[in-house]
Amino acid sequence: MNQESYLRWISSLEKGGKILEDSQREAKQSLEKIGFPKKSAEKWRYTNLNRLENILKLPINTSKESLILKINSEVLNENYKLPNGIEKINNDELIAYLSNQTILNTSYENFLTNLNHATNHKIIALKIKSDKMINLEIVIKNLKQHLTPSKILILVEKNAKLDILQIIQGSSSSSHSNLIEIYLDENSKVNHSFIAIGSELSSLLGTVSIKQEENSSYSLSSFQQGWYLSHIDQNIFQVKGNAKSTIKSLTISQKDQQLATHSYIKFNGPNGSVKQVNKSIIEDNSQSIFNGLIDVPKIAQKTNASQLSKNLLLSEKGRVHTSPQLKIVADDVKCNHGATISQLEEEQIFYLNSRGINRNEANLLLIKGFCKEIIDNFPINSTKWSHLSKYLKKNK
Amino acid sequence: MDSNKLILEIRNLYAGIDEKNILNGINLKINEGEIHAIMGKNGSGKSTLSKIIAGDPSYSITSGEIFFKHKNIKDLEPEIRSNIGIFLGFQYPIEIPGVKNIDFLRVSVNARRKQLKESELDTFEFEAFIEEQLEIVKMDKAFLERGVNQGFSGGEKKRNEILQMALLKPDIAFLDETDSGLDIDALRIIASGINKLHTPKKSIVLITHYQRLLNEIEPDFVHVMHNGQIVRTGKKDLAIELEKNGYEGLALNNTGK
């Protein structure tokens, strides 16, 4: 995209409501500074930038209908009274928060975050106070031929607990810019399930930004399939270390889709841990991209980190780009990382065949087996979305 | 055997892998209910023979025929051979992480039941069914919940093989070195399991290096393989002779080359 039309696009963006006005103005300035992504940046190296450009050509969806919120399985509307332990963040607080919105204090290039803030008209902002587990379900729908921006901000207070299931749906040439920020205060616990399923020419630009205080525990189970173009950032920042993070992701790419996951995990103190597994299944002539960086500075002694990228390549024309990286300055840490790319093993297939299981069924069993580790993590209520993807069906 | 009903017949079988000949004219007839033992040195072609009968696609047959119940099975897919009643107990059972053992066993059993025109078992029915069979190999139920052979010891893998034989009720089972890597207690458990599964209708072929398995399971015939041929056939005393004098003592020579 040339600079001129990019700048024209930025200035054409409509103003959001008065709460979002300031953050939007700042984001527009940042977007101008950052410029449209270029291949020369490692993060965008393999991205089909034409597809990214096409997203910016779509009109912005400003309707509020695209966000459905359920708390403990009840649909929330304007008049609904929130149950104990969960509150809306009031406007003043929200403005204060948004003016200081660098949830991740990093120099990580944040085109996606700024794009979200610049286009956004909708924000869900909640505070979780209860130490009883609260179940939150957020469904983000698409509008055809539109870019739908959405932002979710959740502050989880000390000792509070939250289960959150986030569903993002896409269909014919619709796009999403989604940003979810979760702040975990001391001793809090969050299980986050992120399920993003597109179809046809739909695209997804998503960011999951997590900030963890000491003794908090955050677990992300992520699933994505069916996007013409997807680019998901998973960022975790352990403010003082001493917290626990888990990320398990599964990506299924088919046809000529291009699905990407970029993760950045930073320990800003000692005794933190992260366990990350990123799995991909690549079919047809699709592409799967994984870029992971774990940042362990000097202050983060006794960090325990593992990062694994496992890829199952099911076709000759599929492509995998995977780069799990560790940046370690601290000297007393346990860190490991690795990547594998494999096909279905003939030996395993013959073993199953010799037990009367035909080739198709054997392939299915092996593929399900590959996914199991990730799918098992999803809560039971995720299975109601399994009509969107057979991979979400639990083995029984 | 009174009935002498032929179940498997191998006629002049030549086969190999990647242009390399391994079997050089195997002839073998097995009747219903018989127990055969095939012995021979490493590389004599014992395992290859069993894999070819199970239909391993990495091997190719250059000439010869394999009849199972008078039907030529040479070109059948391995899953069809299993469904019609041929079983191979693997020397090195394959690990399949992520696929739960019990799910795998159920899919496998239902494929066989379909062939036998029996109703398929749902998860509850299958659990009840498998519980009885576990007793045959004294296997802990916990192994059903793990990935197929995942992290199993050598002995546990072999038990899992015999459990599959118990579940699938094949008409003929080739057991490839089921005794290797077992301590004497495990060997007795597995041997007693195999004996329990042996009926006047079911045939078993034991492929082994050692006579000790044959002390537990009495064979009707013992064959010695050498350079891809069966060079001697006898009764149990042939195994005893082998144990005493070794393969060298048999003064093996290839007759068919």
B128: domain CATH number is: 3.40.50.300
- For residue A369, the surrounding DSSP H or E stretch is helix A359-375
Residue B1 lies inside a defined structural domain of this protein: no
Residues in chain A within 8 Å Cβ distance of B108: 352, 355-357
Distance between B238 CA and the closest CA of chain A, angstroms: 31
Contact A357 B107 (CB under 8 A): yes
Q: Is B57 on the interface with A (CB under 8 A)?
A: yes
Longest CA span, chain B: 56
Q: How many residues make up chain A in this entry?
A: 396
pLDDT at A48 over 70: yes
Q: Give the DSSP letter string of A16-29.
A: --HHHHHHHHHHHH
Helix axes B184-197, B123-136, angle to 10 degrees: 120
CA-CA distances (angstroms) from residue A206 to A112, A114, A210, B6, B218?
Answer: 7, 12, 13, 66, 67
Alpha helices in chain B (DSSP H): 46-54, 78-84, 101-115, 123-136, 142-145, 154-168, 184-197, 212-216, 236-249
Interval A89-105: pLDDT, tens: 988 888 878 776 555 44
Q: How far apart are CA A22 and CA B114, in angstroms?
A: 68
List Cβ neighbours of A61 (8 Å cut-off, separation of 6 or more): A143, A146, A147, A148, A149
Q: Is B228 on the interface with A (CB under 8 A)?
A: no
Distance between B103 CA and the closest CA of chain A, angstroms: 8
Q: Is B100 on the interface with A (CB under 8 A)?
A: yes
List Cβ neighbours of A322 (8 Å cut-off, separation of 6 or more): A278, A280, A288, A289, A290, A291, A309, A311, A339, A341
Contact A351 B90 (CB under 8 A): yes
Residues in chain A within 8 Å Cβ distance of B100: 372, 395
Residues in chain A within 8 Å Cβ distance of B112: 356
pLDDT of residue A102: 54
Q: In what order do the strands lie in the sheet with A189-197?
A: A74-76, A67-71, A134-140, A161-169, A189-197, A217-225, A244-253, A273-282, A304-313, A334-342
pLDDT at A82 over 90: no
pLDDT of residue B242: 87
Residue B16 lies in domain: 6-249
Asked if A288 contacts A280 with a C-beta cutoff of 8 angstroms, the reply is yes
Bridge partners, A49 (sequence order): none
Q: Is B145 on the interface with A (CB under 8 A)?
A: no
Q: How many residues make up chain B in this entry?
A: 257
User: Distance from first CA to last CA of chain A, Å, rounded?
Assistant: 49
Look up residue A376 and give its DSSP letter. T
Q: How far apart are CA B82 and CA B101, in angstroms?
A: 18
Which of the residues A355, A368, A373, A375 would you substitute to probe the B interface, choosing the one with the greatest number of B C-beta atoms within 10 Å?
A355
Residues in chain B within 8 Å Cβ distance of A365: 96, 99, 103-104, 107
pLDDT of residue A95: 81
Task: Determine the 3-state secondary structure of B144 from DSSP.
Answer: helix
Q: What percent of chain A has pLDDT over 70?
A: 96
pLDDT of residue B200: 95
CA-CA distances (angstroms) from residue A125 to A69, A151, A237, A325?
Answer: 11, 8, 20, 33
Q: Is B116 on the interface with A (CB under 8 A)?
A: no
The pair of three-digit structure tokens given for residue B85, joined into one six-digit string: 């009643």
- The closest CB to that of B96, out of A366, A373, A395, belongs to A366
Contact A395 B103 (CB under 8 A): yes
Inter-chain Cβ pairs, chain A and chain B, closer than 8 A: 81
**What are the φ and ψ backbone dihedral angles of B63, each rounded to 5 degrees?**
-160, 170
pLDDT of residue B244: 86
Q: Is B99 on the interface with A (CB under 8 A)?
A: yes
Give the pLDDT mean for A343-359.
Answer: 96
Asked if A128 contacts A155 with a C-beta cutoff of 8 angstroms, the reply is yes
As to burial, measured by CB atoms within 10 angstroms (0-12 exposed, 13-18 middle, 19+ buried), residue A329 is exposed
Give the pLDDT mean for A343-368.
Answer: 95
Residues in chain B within 8 Å Cβ distance of A348: 94, 96
Residues in chain B within 8 Å Cβ distance of A370: 98
Closest chain A residue to B168, measured at CA = A355
Asked if B209 contacts B178 with a C-beta cutoff of 8 angstroms, the reply is no
Per-block mean pLDDT, blocks of 10 residues, chain B (257 long): 78 94 96 96 94 96 96 96 97 94 96 93 94 93 95 94 96 95 91 96 94 92 95 92 84 52
- The closest CB to that of B98, out of A358, A361, A370, belongs to A370
Residue B122 lies inside a defined structural domain of this protein: yes
Residue B201 lies inside a defined structural domain of this protein: yes
Rg over alpha carbons for chain B, rounded to the nearest Å, is 18
Q: How far apart are CA A155 and CA A136, in angstroms?
A: 13
Interval A239-262: pLDDT, tens: 999 999 999 999 999 999 999 999
Query: No. of H helices and E strands in chain A?
Result: 7, 19
pLDDT of residue A84: 86
Residue B256 lies inside a defined structural domain of this protein: no
Residues in chain A within 8 Å Cβ distance of B79: 353-359
A131-135, A201-205, A321-325, B91-95: lowest mean pLDDT where?
A: A131-135
What's the domain count of chain B?
1
Which of the residues A351, A358, A373 would you substitute to probe the B interface, choosing the one with the greatest number of B C-beta atoms within 10 Å?
A351
Residues in chain B within 8 Å Cβ distance of A395: 100, 103
The pair of three-digit structure tokens given for residue A126, joined into one six-digit string: 């909640």
Task: Determine the 3-state secondary structure of B205 from DSSP.
Answer: strand
Q: In what order do the strands lie in the sheet with B71-72?
A: B20-31, B6-17, B60-68, B71-72
- Average pLDDT of the residues of chain A: 91
Residue A106: pLDDT band (50, 70, 90) is very low
Residue B171 lies inside a defined structural domain of this protein: yes
Residue B148 lies inside a defined structural domain of this protein: yes
In this structure, the dihedral spanned by the alpha carbons of residues A141, A142, A147 and A148, taken in order and rounded to 10 degrees, is -20
Residue A341: pLDDT band (50, 70, 90) is very high
Q: How far apart are CA A118 and CA A31, in angstroms?
A: 8
- The closest CB to that of B57, out of A350, A365, A395, belongs to A350
Say how many C-beta atoms besides its own lie within 10 A of residue A272's C-beta.
Answer: 28
Contact A355 B97 (CB under 8 A): no
Asked if A173 contacts A199 with a C-beta cutoff of 8 angstroms, the reply is no
Interval A271-323: pLDDT, tens: 999 999 999 999 999 999 999 999 999 999 999 999 999 999 999 999 999 99
List Cβ neighbours of A265 (8 Å cut-off, separation of 6 or more): A235, A236, A237, A238, A245, A247, A274, A276, A292, A293, A294, A295, A305
Nearest by Cα to B63 from B220, B213, B228, B221: B228
Q: Is B180 on the interface with A (CB under 8 A)?
A: no
Asked if A227 contacts A261 with a C-beta cutoff of 8 angstroms, the reply is no
Q: How far apart are CA B163 and CA B54, in angstroms?
A: 18
- The closest CB to that of A350, out of B56, B108, B147, belongs to B56
The pair of three-digit structure tokens given for residue A250, joined into one six-digit string: 């599964």
Q: Is B168 on the interface with A (CB under 8 A)?
A: yes
Residue A23: pLDDT band (50, 70, 90) is confident
Residue B105 lies inside a defined structural domain of this protein: yes
Q: Is B83 on the interface with A (CB under 8 A)?
A: yes
Residues in chain A within 8 Å Cβ distance of B77: 353, 358-359
Residue B204 lies inside a defined structural domain of this protein: yes
User: Distance from first CA to last CA of chain B, Å, rounded?
Assistant: 32
CA-CA distances (angstroms) from residue A200 to A68, A94, A169, A171, A327?
Answer: 23, 36, 12, 6, 38
- The closest CB to that of A365, out of B54, B81, B107, belongs to B107
Say how many C-beta atoms besides its own lie within 10 A of residue A360's C-beta.
Answer: 8
Look up residue A316 and give its DSSP letter. S
The pair of three-digit structure tokens given for residue B257, joined into one six-digit string: 């080359």
**What are the φ and ψ backbone dihedral angles of A237, each rounded to 5 degrees?**
-125, 115
